[in-house]
Structure formats: structure tokens, C-alpha cells
Amino acid sequence: MKEGVYLQYGRVLEEHWWTQARRRLVMKLLKRMGVEPDGSRRVLEIGAGAGTEFSFLSRFGSVVAVELSPVGASLCRQRGYEDVIEGDLNQYVPPTGHFDIVVDFNVLYHRWISEPGSV
């Protein structure tokens, strides 16, 4: 994405109605699976964009972000992500058994993802 789009996302997306609705759905699904927002989990967000999901995801525990763009990674850090991996998801391999929750909110459909199933 272009830098301006990241900046726009950072300003708008965190409180956007679509984001709020998606969070409610995710929360409902996780609760149904017995996952409570108790801060005890290790969470990986792939394609973290502008970091707008950090406050939501951090309710579940410590959050690691993987973001391709240096602009996006910088915005993630500004929002509180302490652990941001700047890298291409096509090559990123998370440590086995390290994360309890892995989320992707809007990245696997991008053209630069060569094999969504592998990612």
C-alpha cells in the first residue's frame, strides 16, 4: 500500500463501524471456542497494517505484528506494538507452537501473497 493509505487507515480504521463489527464477531467466535480476553495468550497478527487492531488484540495477551511496509511497521510501534517484525509473509515462518492465536484481518487476498494457503 502507499504511505498515504497507511496514514489514512491509522486515522480512520481503528474506530470505523466495520472494524467494530468485525471485532464483535471475532470476540463472539473466540468466546465460543473458550478463549477469553484474559491477557494470557500469545497473539500473532499477520499483515498488521497501521496497527489499528493492537488495542483489541492486546486484551488477549502479548501481541507480535508482522508487517511488510516500514511505514506500517512504524505506525504499529506508535500504537504500542513492542514486537514488530518487518518482513514478507511469503517467507515468514513463526516459531512452532509459539502462538496461541494467529489473526489476519485483511492481507491474504493481496496480489503479493504468492500462496495464501502456505501463509
DSSP-derived secondary structure for 66-94: EES-HHHHHHHHHHT-SEEEES-TTT--P
pLDDT < 70 positions in the chain:
1, 90, 92, 106-119
Give me the pLDDT at residue 96, please.
Answer: 82
The answer to whether residues 57 and 43 touch, using CB atoms and an 8 Å cutoff, is: yes
In the prediction, which pLDDT does 87 show?
82
pLDDT of amino acid 8:
77
